[in-house]
Amino acid sequence: MTSTTPQARTRRDRTHYLYIAVIAAVLAGIAVGFAAPDFAKELKPLGEGFVKLIKMMIGPVIFCTIVLGVGSVRSAAQVGKVGGMALGYFITMSTFALAIGLAVGNILHPGEGLQITPEGAAKAAESAGGEKQTTAEFILHMIPDTMVSSLTSGDVLQALFVALLVGFALQAMGRAGEPILVGVGYLQKLVFRVLAMIMWLAPIGAFGAIAAVVGETGMDALRSLAVLMVGFYITCFLFVFGILGALLKAVTGINIFSLLKYLGREFLLIVSTSSSESALPRLIAKMEHAGVHQSTVGVVVPTGYSFNLDGTAIYLTMATLFVASATGDPLSFGEQLSLLLFMMIASKGAAGVTGAGLATLAGGLQSHRPDLVDGVGLIVGIDRFMSEARALTNFAGNAVATVLIGTWTHSIDRQKLDAVLAGDDPFDETTMVDDDHGYTPRKDEELDVAR
């Protein structure tokens, strides 16, 4: 008699070959970038195409996850509690990230002795060319033209807004809304199945993306900007393993290394695409598999991708100080605070998008200190490599936030989490859906509470 045990699922899993192929593709891309830089630059569409395929799935994933998470909880107050706690936590962590970035930046003084080049000024002007949004425009932009367009626009905040409306509406409908929840549950399984198919193109995307950036950058930019890069990487490391690791250990007793090991494939995907958004659907699936309730995952993860930007906050802090030093016009402490707070607000909703940090930096300098915009050109050459570090930091921050908020709101199955992190209950890579832990109408403990 055969049964579907975790061990059986592990034997059938062939996806570990996929991630070995991703590592090989990254190494091959680096080699091609150095050996044939002109040819390597032509491979950029391969990486861009893969990221576009992933981003194509973001709207449906967020919609299904939030609708199921919010709609399956009969108490709107519980959702509000989770959301309020999440926003408070995100603001606190962003403040810590800004403080650490300011401290390290003022100690290292990155950018001293460098000079602006005409080519760099041209690149900076191009980066700053995007439209700037006021606070009112930002809020109005969250409202899509139609409910359906929120799933097709690629805007995370619009999908989040509509999904919350639908989730609360189904919540108010009670039993009458359960058939719709069942349908959304099946739609979620379909979406994750399509995503699992797209993931087999990851080696091609990683090869093209890495080859292009190495071909464009070479080693000169890395050598000339080593202080900024190393300082930024060390700062991100200290934030993740110092602040986040200590907080996770103090609250839950979980070692952050075990959590990050569980998410190892997602980190590899982020490194190869330079976008934390590419791993968003997998983070949602894995957090649910690890025992965090759908209602918590559905609120914390998508919201965190727009508001919990620890890596981006550190990047904007250090990059601003770097540009000011490079132009020979350092910012006063008051100027640093006002400009960086503006950038932190302006960056909301742009998380996970490759290059969004550079555009936010250029736009913030353009609005506050136009004389410094030319300095952004100095960072263009290494922005890709810094983008990887800030994406990894953002992703780690959202993973830790999900576990912490699940613990604080008592919406986490601790036995399940311990078993998953110990490797006793592996994630099903073939479907990315955990049928034993996901949404099951009227059989799940969350729904039985309503009786």
Judged against a pLDDT cut of 60, whether residue 450 lies above it is answered with no
Return the pLDDT at 326: 67
Confidence of residue 78 (pLDDT cuts 50, 70, 90): low
CA dihedral 68, 70, 72, 77 (to 10 degrees): 170
Q: Where are the alpha helices (DSSP H) in 133-240?
A: 135-141, 149-152, 156-173, 178-198, 202-217, 220-224, 226-238
The two three-digit tokens of residue 95, written as one number: 């403040």
Least confident of 119-128, 175-184, 192-201: 119-128
Give the per-residue pLDDT at 244: 93
pTM: 0.65
What backbone torsions phi and psi does residue 2 show, to the nearest 5 degrees?
A: -100, 145
**pLDDT of the residue at 10:** 41
Q: Across the chain, what does the average pLDDT equal?
A: 74
pLDDT at 444: 41
pLDDT of 46 higher than 80: yes
For 353-378, how does the pLDDT look when each residue is reduced to its tens digit (9 = 90+)? 445 566 567 666 665 666 776 666 55
Residue 156 pLDDT level (bands cut at 50, 70, 90): low
* Phi, psi at 74, each rounded to 5°: -80, -10
Q: Cβ(327)–Cβ(374) under 8 Å?
A: yes
Q: What is the pLDDT of residues 239-270, one digit of tens each?
A: 999 999 999 999 999 999 999 999 988 888 88
- Tell me what pLDDT residue 188 has: 80
437-444: average pLDDT: 40
pLDDT at 145 over 80: yes
Which domains can be identified in the chain, with CATH numbers?
Answer: 14-448 (1.10.3860.10)
